[in-house]
């Protein structure tokens, strides 16, 4: 806190993102499973997605994004006090991918942990990082949302393999330098729906066996229709809640960055919120669903394309397995 007891404002002071170079189009997927470009486009709005090579893990993607974010913040890795990695495709169950990343970027002084909030990973991690900054516990927190999710996709399941892609985004969160920053956050979950979207085997609930491998239980499973309905309600509610907490109205929002899961979900959400399409940033057509990395990569691209400028009010809203939800209001 400052001497006049004014609350410290946490802010994103550096950003970076990275997507692997390999592009997989719908026409490529047509050669793998019984589907076609028209079917995929009509139901998802996805044209292509990025695919990590077999020997590339989430930490590898995260490293590229992290180094860009640190440079953008005008800092070095030695300035980072804490690394938070949001991922559901960790390098391994343990140790934390954040610890792997710490070694990669040479930040031995940083504390490290992962969070598993699925597609809500970035809003969750950003909210957590802000608490450390606002209390004065740390000066610089590196938030990384990284997913090599296609390694966990069943390429025999046409209902899920068309949806996902790989990528990473990173943000350095510090004390606001210019009056901008995180105005409000809203987090939630609905654990009663855990069975609708999950990766069943490989944990302590269902250990790895020959049978679990034969039954393809080490791949993502999703009940698509049920997920769609809950996702729309969840994101709308999260966006309304966080805007109210920030003391603004939806009319004040300059850019809505929804989780990039499915074009039909995105459309339903912004129409319910009565936010014009031109104020909504969408890149799901080029990347598919990158889980926790989706919203931060979208934020980076929105800034690159001039959709978010100095002083813009940005709302990020996401939902994910669990069913987690997270939303942030940021004055850029």
pLDDT at 2: 36
Spatial neighbors of 319 by CB under 8 A, at least 6 apart, are: 119, 120, 230, 231, 234, 235, 238, 259, 261, 325
| Contact status, residue 282 vs residue 44, Cβ threshold 8 Å | no
The per-residue pLDDT of the chain, averaged, comes to 96
112 part of the active site? no
CA pair distance 155, 77, nearest whole angstrom: 38
Q: Which of 230, 264, 275 is nearest to 118 (CA)?
A: 230
Q: What is the pLDDT of residue 5?
A: 54
Tell me, what's the pLDDT at 3? Answer: 42
The CATH architecture assigned to 10-178 reads 3-Layer(aba) Sandwich (3.40)
User: Of all helices (H) and strands (E), which one includes residue 131?
Assistant: helix 121-134
What pLDDT, on the 0 to 100 scale, is given for residue 124? 98
DSSP per position, 71-103: HHTT--GGG--EEEEE-SS-SSSSS-HHHHHHH
Cβ(96)–Cβ(88) under 8 Å?
Answer: no
CA 313 to chain centre: 19
Q: Which of 26, 140, 262, 289 is catalytic?
A: 289
Marked catalytic residue, from 99, 112, 119, 255: 119
- Of the candidate CATH numbers 3.40.980.10, 3.40.50.300, 3.40.47.10, 3.40.50.720, the domain formed by 183-331 belongs to 3.40.47.10
pLDDT at res. 4:
47
Domains 10-178 and 183-331 share a fold: yes
The answer to whether residue 259 is catalytic is: yes
Catalytic residue from among 259, 262, 300, 328? 259
For the chain, which residues make up each domain, given as ranges?
Answer: 10-178, 183-331
Ranges of residues in the chain with a pLDDT under 50 are 1-4
Active site residue 300: no
């Amino acid at each position: 806190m400052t001497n006049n007891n004014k609350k410290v404002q946490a802010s994103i002071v550096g950003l970076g993102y990275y997507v692997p170079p390999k592009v997989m189009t719908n026409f490529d997927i047509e050669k793998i499973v019984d589907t076609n470009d028209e079917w995929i486009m009509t139901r998802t709005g996805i044209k292509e997605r990025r695919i990590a090579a077999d020997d590339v893990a989430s930490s590898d993607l995260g490293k590229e994004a992290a180094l860009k974010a640190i440079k953008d913040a005008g800092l070095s890795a030695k300035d980072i006090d804490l690394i938070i990695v949001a991922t559901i495709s960790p390098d391994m169950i343990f140790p934390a991918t954040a610890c792997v990343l710490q070694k990669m970027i040479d930040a031995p002084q940083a504390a490290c942990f992962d969070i598993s909030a699925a597609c809500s990973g970035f809003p969750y991690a950003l909210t957590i990082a802000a608490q450390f900054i606002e209390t004065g516990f740390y000066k610089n927190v590196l938030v990384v949302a990284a997913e090599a999710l296609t390694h966990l996709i069943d390429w025999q399941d046409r209902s899920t393999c068309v949806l996902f892609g790989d990528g990473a985004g990173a943000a350095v969160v510090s004390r606001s330098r210019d009056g901008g920053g995180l105005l409000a956050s809203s987090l939630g979950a609905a654990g009663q729906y855990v069975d609708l979207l999950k990766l069943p085997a490989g944990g302590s609930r269902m250990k790895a066996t020959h049978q679990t491998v034969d039954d393809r239980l080490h791949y993502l499973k999703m009940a698509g229709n049920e997920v769609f309905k809950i996702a729309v309600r969840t994101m709308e509610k999260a966006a309304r809640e966080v805007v109210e907490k920030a003391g603004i109205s939806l009319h004040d929002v300059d850019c809505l960055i929804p989780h990039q899961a499915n074009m039909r979900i995105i459309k339903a959400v912004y129409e319910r919120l009565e936010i014009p399409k031109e104020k909504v940033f969408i890149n799901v057509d080029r990347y598919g669903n990158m889980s926790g990395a989706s919203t931060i990569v979208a934020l980076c691209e929105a800034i690159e394309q001039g959709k978010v400028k100095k002083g813009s009010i940005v709302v990020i809203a996401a939902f994910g397995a669990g069913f987690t939800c997270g939303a942030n209001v940021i004055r850029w």
